[in-house]
Amino acid sequence: MSANVSPVSALDFEGEVVKSDKLVIVDFWAEWCGPCKMIAPLLDEVARELPDKVKIVKVNVDQEQELAQQYGIYSIPTLLFFKGGTVREQVVGSVPKKVLVEKINSQA
């Protein structure tokens, strides 16, 4: 994890994500997932470059299986974009940074 992207668990998910007053991207990932490792540096860059627009957190699906089930995560990486406590957008798989920035700007 980096200083810009923080892990969340079921215990702090509501406070960190659902009740956040800004856009939150939740990265559902796993240690063994190759595409998850590919998108991680992009998420870090986005978090560093757009701190006023977005907060990015990570949920390890191996450690937080109930949370992954609750949000219907079947493939990883899956990015859920939360705003106002609801999922506004979903991205499955590794995508270019440009796509992430466009989605963030359309939600902000």
Phi-psi group of 85: left, alpha or beta (phi > 0 → left; psi -120 to 50 → alpha; rest → beta): left
pLDDT in tens, 76-94: 999 999 999 999 999 999 9
Among candidate residues 24, 25, 26, 33, the one labeled active-site is 33
Domain count, the chain: 1
Tell whether the model's pLDDT for residue 2 goes beyond 90. no
Among candidate residues 36, 39, 50, 73, the one labeled active-site is 36
Give the pLDDT confidence score for residue 107 in this predicted structure: 85
CATH at 97: 3.40.30.10
Task: For residue 43, give its domain range.
Answer: 5-107
Tell whether the model's pLDDT for residue 4 goes beyond 90. no
CB contact burial 11-29 (16+ within 10 A = b; e otherwise): eebeebbeebeebbbbbbb
Strand order across the 23-29 sheet: 5-7, 54-60, 23-29, 78-83, 86-92
Tell whether the model's pLDDT for residue 7 goes beyond 70. yes
38 is catalytic: no
36 is catalytic: yes
Tell whether the model's pLDDT for residue 108 goes beyond 90. no
